């Protein structure tokens, strides 16, 4: 799903797919003041982002522990990389509810971090195995159109936020 979002991103959008979240140690308040190098590098990478697109599968009506940990480290740093940044959340599942629970749970956390989260259009992919081929390419035209529409709305949302911030 993330690779498809990157492929369908508008020309004016530069995306970076951040992988390796599983390499971050579990958040630990004892290490908060002097985090490990891998955490510092991760936070430094996030500092340059103008906006964030979070993608998650759904596990037990929530997002993954790995993603939670990747949000906890920078959210507790002095850099406040998420503070007042635009964010959007997309979810995917092989089941019928389309990661609805994960998307909404994650949006709740991002709201607490004072991120400006895109409310509409919501984006949840259900029955993922039917929509992607065996090499991971999205083949479902309805979902492709939904991603294109999502990008239009999200880019507008980011630009509105940027204009507001630039004026302050």
Task: Convert the pLDDT of each residue in 55-96 to its tens digit.
Answer: 999 989 999 999 999 999 999 998 899 999 999 999 998 888
* Nearest by Cα to 35 from 90, 79, 84, 92: 79
Beta-bridge mates of residue 116: 86
Across the range 134-150, mean pLDDT stands at: 96
Coil, strand or helix at 50: coil
Per-residue pLDDT band at 7 (split at 50, 70, 90): very high
Q: Is 47 exposed, middle or buried (0-12, 13-18, 19+ CB in 10 A)?
A: exposed
- pLDDT the model gives residue 164: 78
Is the CB of residue 118 less than 8 Å from the CB of residue 152?
no
pLDDT at residue 167, rounded to an integer: 67
* Cβ neighbours for 146, distance < 8 A, ≥ 6 positions apart: 121, 123
How confident is the prediction for the chain on average, in pLDDT? 93
Task: Examine the pLDDT at 165 and tell me if it is beyond 80.
Answer: no
Confidence check: pLDDT of 98 > 80:
no
Spatial separation of the C-alpha atoms in residues 51 and 48, rounded to whole Å: 9
Share of the chain above pLDDT 70, in %: 98
pLDDT value at residue 64: 94
């Amino acid at each position: 799903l993330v690779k498809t979002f990157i492929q369908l991103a508008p020309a004016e959008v530069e995306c970076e797919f951040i992988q390796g979240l599983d390499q971050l140690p579990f958040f630990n308040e004892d290490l908060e003041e002097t985090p490990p190098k891998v955490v510092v590098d991760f936070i430094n990478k996030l500092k340059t982002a103008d906006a964030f697109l979070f993608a998650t599968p759904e596990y037990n009506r929530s997002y993954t522990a790995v993603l939670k940990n990747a949000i906890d480290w920078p959210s507790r740093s002095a850099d406040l990389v998420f503070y007042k940044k635009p964010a959007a959340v997309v979810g995917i599942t092989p089941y019928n509810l389309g990661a609805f629970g994960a998307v909404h749970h994650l949006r709740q956390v991002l709201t607490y971090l004072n991120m400006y989260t895109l409310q509409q259009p919501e984006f949840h992919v259900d029955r993922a195995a039917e929509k992607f081929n065996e090499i991971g390419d999205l083949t479902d035209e309805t979902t492709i159109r939904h991603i294109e529409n999502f990008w239009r709305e999200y880019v507008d949302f980011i630009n509105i936020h940027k204009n507001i911030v630039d004026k302050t």
